[in-house]
Structure formats: structure tokens, C-alpha cells
Structure 1
């Protein structure tokens, strides 16, 4: 059973990021697959969560190897909250590529670069599922750079024409990109992925039959897969909302359920995972022939599958003993020089963990969301606010060079002088 819940916490006695994180993560009725702060003010913190009624493996701290020597940036682009940069179809790829130019490696969410038939990604960008980023931020797992993952594909029970199209997409990715798709499973029963909209307006999701999803994942792992791609027919999609999304005026209604599916697989089985709609909903109530540019990758693609197969081929692994993957650098939070996030969506694990570890957090005001969970509203000191991703790149360059940010702005504080 997967359930979406909402909690209100009294924040009068909460001081600092570490205490806020602890209070949130002890509030849930059942293990949380995904959560975020949806509202905050001086009196309360509102948390929206998606929880799983089954058992999740217990996590233990990852081992602590020597620093990798790589400067890593974690760039967060949460799905389902209407990010103006990254909330559509791969439209955060240019910003991600820019950050990769000023860092050795960028860890980012799949939806930052996913665009159905299109994806912009290179070896400096680590295609990392959201719950894996959370576990990495907590120090529960390290990230092992991988080349040539063995991808298993789950196809939800569907009509023959849809399954045949998915197989053609898969074979095209194998032939053109050389992705190793070891096998596929067409489920005997529907998985039942559904769009859900929370009170905040953010989109989350639910799954009718998580056991069907996990059974198919295990079958593919037994056949040699070490990464899982899932494609389903997403249900309960409100046509007007999706049409507004293509116009650039609405969060992506599908993003939330995609995150829940991948979070479940990653948390239970410990392998990289990603979800894509089997057939894109591009014919639903579109009132214009040319859609918002940020959605164009989706509108010209029949299925959402190709990009996740390509992305999963190089997704980082969570374990060093995983079979069938060539692993290189092992990364820990000690390698992270900064976490970058939309300025209005700072209420999540990576940001709060980074602040508690004194890792700089760069909040980008220009990446608007439907939320207003800012550093001021959360009472989080020390967040570096910038207007744009180019400005964020400049901050990262300064951090890597050991240049104090105070020395780059005016007026500059003078030590020993009264103001």
C-alpha cells in the first residue's frame, strides 16, 4: 500500500537544519518513499510525504574511503513542483552542462536531462535517482561511477501495439547508443501508476500494485540486470492540467508518480531505476500547434522511454559489489563542494544535510517553483542566493579556487573597523 500524507510540525522549538531534518523524519506513520517541505513560516512546517506500507531494508552508513580528488556538485531539480528550469522535458540540461564545466562531476536528478527521445548527458553528469541522492546526502551510501550498466526493462501489461512500439524504441537505443538491455518483462497484471495532486499543488503519485513492480524488478535482476527501467500507462491524468503544462503554465502532472516508482525500486532493491510513460499524452486537449519550448522534446516523441535507457546505462551504483558493472571513482559527501537548488524548494534531505555538514548551498531564485520554501521561511542561515545558473557557476568556480565570496561583492566588510 502506498499512501500520501500531510503533516504539520510546530517549529517553535526547532533550531537549525539538523534538528529540522530529525523532527521531520520521525513524524511519518510509515516509511517514507519521498517527502518535501511544502509550506513554512515562523510557527509551523508543513511536510507532504508518500509512504510505503511494506518493509524497506535498513540502511547503514556507507564506508568512508579517502577523498576521490573530484570536486562534486549536487544539482537538485525536483519533479512535480513546476520548476521553471527542469520541470518540463530535459530543459535543465543546458544549466546542468554549465555546472559540469566548473566542477569535475555533477550529480543530478534524471528529470533534469530526460526529454523522451532526447537527452543531453556526458560522463561528467551522474544520472542519479532522487532517493539515491537522499541516501548519498545522508552518508548512507556512496556513489560508484559506472560505465556500461546492464539495464532490465519492465513493460506494464498493455495492448500489443504499445508493447511493440516500446520494443522498437528499445532496439533503436541498443543499436544507436550501444546500451546493454539484458532482457525485458511484460507484467502479467497492471502496475497501476496514478497521478495524485497534493494540497500544495505539487504532483505526487500512487501505485496500485507495488508487488507487481517489485516482482518484475527481481526477475530482471536474477537475469543479470543491475539497473531497472520501467514504462507504464500513467492513469488519473487531468486533461486540462496536462494541456496547461504544455503551455508552460502548470507543473508536470506525471513527474510525481514517476518519482514514486523509481524511489520504491531503489529503496527496496538498491539498484538505479527510472520511469517513463509508455505512450506520451501529447494528444490530450492541446489547443496550440507549437507548445512551450521546454515541453517540445515530449511533444515530438511518441514514448518517453529512450532517454531513461540511455541515462541508466551510466547511472552511478550504490554498492561496490554490484555484478555486471564497471566501476571507477567512489564518491562521498566529503567530495561535494556545493549543493544547488531552486530558491523556493529548499525543504528536502540534500539541502538540510548539506547545511548540517557546512557544505555550501546555492539557491537559484531564477528557477521558480509552485512552492515558497525559502531559506528565510525555514530559518536557514548561510544559504548563498543567486539569480541565475550562470551566477551559480561563478560561485562554484570561486569555491573551487578557495576565493572568499565576501571578497567578490561590495560593499566589502572591513575587519577591525566599526560601522
Structure 2
């Protein structure tokens, strides 16, 4: 597998929907062994769209390749009806310098306020993860971003659960911090009662590196994504129903982190973390989230003047928020259609509103 980031310029006909325009672009630009892990519209110039995309190039002979042949955005499904059970989807993209949600879990208060207006709210880890803190409301459903996109495209339903068995993979380069991760897992078991004791130290280095797009958004790559796939396969074979990961992320400098604290730069690791979890979500259809091991522990200064970033400084593995989110994360159930979905599933038919930051209209939930 090879992960790469590319930019396209796409012409949009006036009568054409945004979603259809992007679908046609993918049909034109993607090779038969390519899958778009994530994308964003980053600029619109008259009738021309600038599309930044993370593409996975895969080996068609591998066992996992069959799933990549189904590119969900090429086959969007529309709501069949509006259910009386009213849900809201909230998206706060990571790695683009959001005013709220651009730091460590600082969107959680607004998330909970919004959740209080609905029967339930579906959001993704970036909105509520804050190092050792995750204070999302009881009616907030914690769904990884790729799975949330596919939910909005009508390809997945959500089945609520009372608990998950959580497995954790640890980047082999993070062995110096393994005890901190284990203590986090053990504390979650002892104090919160979570089923989170299972972990796996990967045998191979992942090679996680940040990168930046032309528009200034944070992205990145994983040099050895197969190591993630192998690790998750083994965890699932041992019965886990949700997967978390902690990885060492390369390329962050002191200047980058200082600028991030000052609100001048997106979270440098936000984009690559999303790429990792998107890969897991697509292949395994399992709840997942990720936390960075302290790649910047020696370069960050413990600032006390930006409360939105304070959670960055109270932890080493930054991982308990992930465990708390995954503890009751809904299971992901493939759907045949939206006309007659199983009654116990939450589907697109339950969604009455989508809430995104005012200038973040370039992703699937805003385009449906």
C-alpha cells in the first residue's frame, strides 16, 4: 500500500451538484487500484474547484483489496424519509485551524450544548478528544470521520452498544513510552471499568510523517500502512470490538508547535491521524480513534496562556480520551439501502441537521 496526497482542479457545470462534480473527478483521475481516503474542497474559483485528496494505492491481489473497489462517494444514497427520532451531525475538520475544535477537545462544550437540542448527536473524535479528558454528553455518538462520511452517504448504519472490548496497537518506535500507555489502559480498567487491557506492540515501524498541502492544511503519510493492518487483524482475532492506536509522528518542529499554540497554524498531526483511522475504518468497519505519542515532548514549552491547548500539557500518551470515546462507540453496520433499514439502527433517515463551521463546507456531510 502507498499513501499519497494530491491536488486536482475540477471544472463544475452550473447545474451540477458539488457531490456529482467530485464523483466525476474521481472517476476521471483515479486508477483502478486507487481509493480516496479523504478529500476537501479548499478553494472555489468561479466554476473551478480545488480539491485536495489523500489517495491510497493498493495491491489488488491482497485480501483486503475487495473493499476498496466500492468507492462510496460514487454511489451516494438519499434519505428515504425523516424519522421522528431527531439527530444532528456535527463536523469539525481537523488540521485546518478551526477557531473551535482546532485544539485539544476545545469544541466539547459547544458539542454538548448542541447535543442538548436533539435526541442524539453524531460527531467524530476531533471534536471531543482532549488528551486525558473526554467530557462528551451521554447522547453523543463517537464515530470516526471516514465512517461518519459513509454514514452520511447512506452506506452505514449505527448500532448503539453498552460497551466495547477495546484493543490498542502501539507503534514500535513508541516502546520508550509503552509503560505510560499500559498505565493508561490499566487505569481505564480499574477506575472507569473499561474493557481495555488488550494491547499489541507492533513489530514494524509505521513511519508516520506529517506533510502540508499547498493550501496550508495538515496531512501526511504512513510509510508502512501494512503494519497497521496486520496489527488490527490480530486484535480483532482476539475479540476486540473497537481499536485505538498510538503512534510516533515525525516532522513536527518547535516552531510549528509554538505557532499552533498561538492559533497561527493547524494542529500538525491532525491530518495524518485522520488518515490512519480512515484506513482502519474502511478495511475493518470497526470503531477506531488515534492519539499521538509525545513526538514533541522535548520541544514543546508548557504554555499556560491558551486554555484551549492546556490539555496538551497534562499527559504523556494523550490516550484516555480515546478509550472513553471508544468505550460505547456504536458499531458500524453496512446497509443495502435506506428504504427499509433495520429498525434498531440509526441511519441517515434520522438526521435532521448537519452543523459545520461557517467556512468548512468542503467535505461530504456538508455536500449531501
Q: Same fold (TM over 0.5)?
A: yes
Match of 2:328, SS state, is coil
Match of 2:285 in 1: 270
| Contact 2:37/2:279, CA 8 A, preserved across alignment | yes
State the Cα distance separating 1:87 from its structure 2 match. Answer: 1.0
Which of 1 and 2 has greater Rg? Answer: 1
Match of 1:86 in 2: 101
Match of 1:344 in 2: 359
* Per-residue Cα deviation, 1:57-98 (whole angstroms, up to 9, x for no partner): 044889999976421100001100011100100000000000
How many angstroms apart in 2 are the aligned matches of 1:96 and 1:159? Answer: 32
| Contact 1:137/1:333, CA 8 A, preserved across alignment | yes
How many angstroms apart in 2 are the aligned matches of 1:343 and 1:64? Answer: 24
How many angstroms apart in 1 are the aligned matches of 2:79 and 2:24? Answer: 26
How many angstroms apart in 2 are the aligned matches of 1:113 and 1:215? Answer: 28
Aligned equivalent of 1:38, options 19, 38, 42: 42
Match of 1:33, SS state, is strand
Match of 2:61 in 1: none
How many angstroms apart in 2 are the aligned matches of 1:257 and 1:306? Answer: 20
| Contact 2:185/2:197, CA 8 A, preserved across alignment | no
* Per-residue Cα deviation, 1:322-381 (whole angstroms, up to 9, x for no partner): xxxxx994111111110001111101111111xxxxxxxxxxxxxxxxxxxxxxxxxxxx
Match of 1:31, SS state, is strand
Gaps of 5+ in 1: 322-326, 354-419
Match of 1:382 in 2: none
| Contact 1:282/1:299, CA 8 A, preserved across alignment | no
| Contact 1:68/1:330, CA 8 A, preserved across alignment | no
How many angstroms apart in 1 are the aligned matches of 2:364 and 2:282? Answer: 15
How large is the Cα RMSD of the aligned pairs? 2.4
State the Cα distance separating 1:205 from its structure 2 match. Answer: 1.5
How many angstroms apart in 2 are the aligned matches of 1:136 and 1:247? Answer: 35
Match of 1:247 in 2: 262
| Contact 1:232/1:276, CA 8 A, preserved across alignment | yes
State the Cα distance separating 1:300 from its structure 2 match. Answer: 1.8
| Contact 2:174/2:248, CA 8 A, preserved across alignment | no
Match of 1:300 in 2: 314
Matches within 5 A, 1:8-47: 8-13=9-14, 15-29=16-30, 30-47=34-51
| Contact 2:188/2:196, CA 8 A, preserved across alignment | no
| Contact 1:217/1:228, CA 8 A, preserved across alignment | yes
| Contact 1:182/1:224, CA 8 A, preserved across alignment | no
Matches within 5 A, 1:186-335: 186-279=201-294, 281-286=296-301, 289-319=303-333, 329-335=344-350
Matches within 5 A, 1:108-119: 108-119=123-134
How many angstroms apart in 2 are the aligned matches of 1:318 and 1:123? Answer: 19
1:147 equivalent to 2:162? Answer yes
State the Cα distance separating 1:182 from its structure 2 match. Answer: 5.2
How many angstroms apart in 2 are the aligned matches of 1:56 and 1:350? Answer: 25
| Contact 1:8/1:46, CA 8 A, preserved across alignment | yes
How many angstroms apart in 1 are the aligned matches of 2:226 and 2:147? Answer: 21
Match of 1:83, SS state, is coil
Match of 1:165 in 2: 180
| Contact 2:247/2:291, CA 8 A, preserved across alignment | yes
| Contact 2:252/2:295, CA 8 A, preserved across alignment | no
Gaps of 5+ in 2: 59-64, 336-341
